Amino acid sequence: MGVYDFTAKTIRGDEIGLDKYEGSVLLVVNTASKCGFTPQYAELQKLYERYKDRGLVVLGFPCNQFGAQEPGSNEEIHTFCQLNYGVTFPLFDKIDVNGPERHPLFAYLTEQAPFEGFDPESPRGGRLTSMLEREGKLAGNDIKWNFTKFLVDRKGNVVGRFESPVEPADIAPAVEALL
């Protein structure tokens, strides 16, 4: 089993196989429109534009499981991303990334790239650690917050997990190494 064995609905409702992206480097991200990390959409778009001709594809999966920060419909999400951040990378149907209804792709991603903690030197990482500890949600490999990013090589292997506070620009060297 690998990333290319999964299917997902696009934000427009079309079911596609992720094998469509076979041979590309993928950055799979759970996103939200009303989060402190939402400006990462702009950085993700820049990363996509910079490397798409060399084989990078960013895949955005909206999710409303963290602070109800993605309340809109697929159409509202799509419009928001285009108008506010000029997003042209593929967006998918709003999904769950944790729990009994989580999308199988995210079950696979979190199994392949376990949670290793937040950077203690990062102010946002420190705040997330404190908040999740208080809520009893820091243990385990589940997605911890919006904008968790998974890097997948051209063969479909998950090679990295970057937590919410990690800026997309900071992932560029890892992306370049795979292109």
Q: What DSSP line would sit under the chain, residue for residue?
A: --GGG-EEEBTTS-EEEGGGGTTSEEEEEEE-SSSTTTTHHHHHHHHHHHHGGGTEEEEEEE---STT---S-HHHHHHHHHHHH---S-BB---BSSSTTB-HHHHHHHHHS------TTSHHHHHHHHHHHHHT-SSSSS--STT-EEEE-TTS-EEEEE-TTS-HHHHHHHHHHH-
Q: For this structure, is 81 an active site residue?
A: no
pLDDT at position 110, please? 98
The domain 3-178: what is its CATH number?
3.40.30.10
Marked catalytic residue, from 8, 35, 57, 151: 35
pLDDT at position 18, please? 98
pLDDT at position 125, please? 87
The model carries a pTM of: 0.95
- Residue 25 contacts by C-beta under 8 Å, 6 or more apart in sequence? 51, 55, 56, 57, 151, 152, 153, 154, 175, 178, 179
How, if at all, do strands 15-17 and 158-162 pair? Answer: unpaired
pLDDT at position 9, please? 98
* Dist CA 121 CA 165 (whole Å): 11
How, if at all, do strands 149-152 and 7-9 pair? Answer: unpaired
Q: Which residues of the chain have pLDDT under 50?
A: none
pLDDT at position 136, please? 85
pLDDT at position 129, please? 85
* Dist CA 42 CA 26 (whole Å): 17
pLDDT at position 137, please? 84
pLDDT at position 65, please? 97
pLDDT at position 158, please? 98
* Dist CA 93 CA 84 (whole Å): 19
